[in-house]
Amino acid sequence: MRKKIVAGNWKMHNDLNETISLINELKKNDIYSDVIVMISPAFPFLQMALELVKKSNIEVVSQNVHQKPKGAFTGEISVEMLKSIGINKTIIGHSERRKYFNENDTVLLEKVKLALSNDLDIIFCFGEELLDRKSNRHFEVVMNQLKKTVLNLDKDSWNKIVLAYEPVWAIGTGETASPDQAQEMHEFIRKCILESYDKTTSENVSILYGGSVKPSNANEIFSKKDVDGGLIGGASLNAKDFQLIIKANSSL
């Protein structure tokens, strides 16, 4: 059975005090046992965040990781470094990494393989640009992103992967894919996985939707059968909003 997940991507927001107080706020929230809750603070605060979430249901994940195991790569963070402080999951391929840091499919596949071979699970992000959707190429673009990356992995890797479909035009713009657009794409993604592997693999992978999810639209998006949760940016910086989104994904 696939898992329901709500993950907060805090991006380059929150200094030390803000990170502490947001985590403490989140810890006061009710727990929905059928939803896995994740947060992704900035690198300097990961270790402290792991301490703060002890005895809570919150998991801490990294926003990124470098594609090489170690070496002269000033400013980068390795898989081994993350593992050594107790981080077991990382986001890879966020559209902001692709756009501002030129991470292409080749680099992303390198990252994915290195992470998985070191038992660092991944949330793999992908999604089309506005122009792709306007020209009705969104399915083709998404399929190519997957073919060049995660669909190259062996079947056993898939229990360490969560997918996050994030149409670029919906990230941080206030514009969300409609629930039907999200469902249609998630169903298509599951079909691509089915064709490359088998029914069990395609049915078991959690596919999150990301892009301007907020309390007012979360219920409808999460009610779709192939949407297993969300990767939340802006709304995850507010404890109350994040909690409402978690609640929206719970069947309890």
Total residues at the site for ligand PGA (CB under 6 A)?
Answer: 13
Give yes or no for a contact between 129 and 169, defined as CB atoms under 8 angstroms apart. Answer: yes
Tell me the chain's radius of gyration from C-alpha atoms.
17
DSSP label at residue 54: T
Q: Which of 231, 245, 246, 248 binds ligand PGA (CB under 6 A)?
A: 231
41/210 with CB nearer ligand PGA: 210
129 catalytic residue (yes or no): no
Buried-exposed string 5-19: b where 16+ CB fall within 10 A, e elsewhere = bbbbbbbeebeeeeb
Minimum CB separation of residue 194 from ligand PGA in Å reads 26
- Can residue 171 be called a binding residue for ligand PGA (CB under 6 A)? yes
User: 3-state DSSP call for residue 211?
Assistant: coil
Interaction of residue 93 with ligand PGA, rule CB under 6 A: no
Reply yes or no on whether 166 is catalytic: yes
Number of other residues whose CB lies within 10 A of the CB of residue 97: 18
Distance, in Å, from the CA atom of 82 to the CA atom of 88, rounded to the nearest integer, reads: 8
Smaller CB separation from ligand PGA, 149 or 212: 212
Q: Closest distance between ligand PGA and the C-beta of residue 124, in Å?
A: 12
Q: Which residues pair with 124 in a beta bridge?
A: 92, 163
Nearer to ligand PGA, 196 or 206 (CB): 206
With a CB cutoff of 8 Å and minimum separation 6, the contacts of 66 are 73, 76, 77, 78, 79, 111
Write down the least CB distance from residue 114 to ligand PGA, Å: 22
For ligand PGA, the closer of residues 69 and 172 by Cβ is: 172
Using CB under 6 A, pick the residue from 212, 217, 243, 249 that binds ligand PGA: 212
126 versus 158: smaller Cβ distance to ligand PGA = 126
**Annotated catalytic residue, options 59, 103, 128, 166:** 166
Q: Which two tokens stand for residue 241?
A: 């909003």
94, 96, 103, 128: which one is catalytic? 94
Q: Does 210 bind ligand PGA (CB under 6 A)?
A: yes
Q: Which is it for the CA torsion 152, 126, 16, 6, positive or negative?
A: negative
Tell me if 207 contacts ligand PGA by CB under 6 A.
Answer: no
Query: Binding of ligand PGA at residue 241 (CB under 6 A)?
Result: no
Q: Which of 251, 239, 230 is nearest to 182 (CA)?
A: 230
- For β-strands 4-9 and 35-40, DSSP reports them as parallel
Q: Could you tell me how many residues make up the chain? A: 252
Using the rule CB under 6 A, is 128 a contact of ligand PGA? no
Which positions lie near ligand PGA, rule CB under 6 A?
Answer: 9, 166, 171-172, 210-213, 231-235
Q: Which residues are tagged catalytic?
A: 94, 166
